[in-house]
Amino acid sequence: MTDEQDIQQWTEHFRMLGAYDPEGWARSQAEESIPQYARFVFLRQAWQSVIADGDTSWIDPQIQQADRRPRDPGAGIGPALKRMLAAGASREDITEVVRVMQSLLLFNIAYQLADPGIVEYPCKDMPQVNWALFEVDEEGQPLHLIDGLHESVLDTDPTGREMRPKGVTRVG
């Protein structure tokens, strides 16, 4: 298969998964030997845990669950949501705050995967722990290091806006 055929095939895979720049991802995969497909698939799946843009349907079930089980871990969300709604916060604003915070958490976890050196140990003689994210084969054996994942978090925002507010266009 030629490089262009390879790029075309990767482009189609990225397009089918909803990438906003499928050819850019594909070219990087083919020409730079960066496991972009694995990076994209991981981040695409991770974004599934972030509340969808404008989706307020999660609010009432969270309140109801907290009302039913007020001593469960995380049940403080119910009374907090009730207070925010009673104070006049819109469901859309609450969702936007939660969505932004979830995306920041996703970025921070991706960054931590790339740099275990950010851990501050209380004593320099303590054993250091290192980790990394790898694409693995069917037997669980490492194939490719998936590094710098945090650099692609915003590129994979399902809205295509890189977490910018609605109506704001990309800069540059």
Query: pTM of the full predicted structure?
Result: 0.88
How many CA within 13 A on the CB side of residue 3?
7
Direct distance between the N- and C-terminal alpha carbons of the chain, in angstroms, rounded to an integer = 35
CB–CB of 42/149 below 8 Å? yes
Return the structure tokens found at 57: 């349907």
Residue ranges of domains in the chain: 34-156
What pLDDT is recorded for position 1? 56
Give 127's DSSP letter.
P
Residue 80 confidence (pLDDT) above 90: yes
**Contact (CB, 8 A) for 112 and 1:** no
Residue type, 43: L
Residue 171: the pLDDT is 61
At residue 172, the pLDDT reads 56
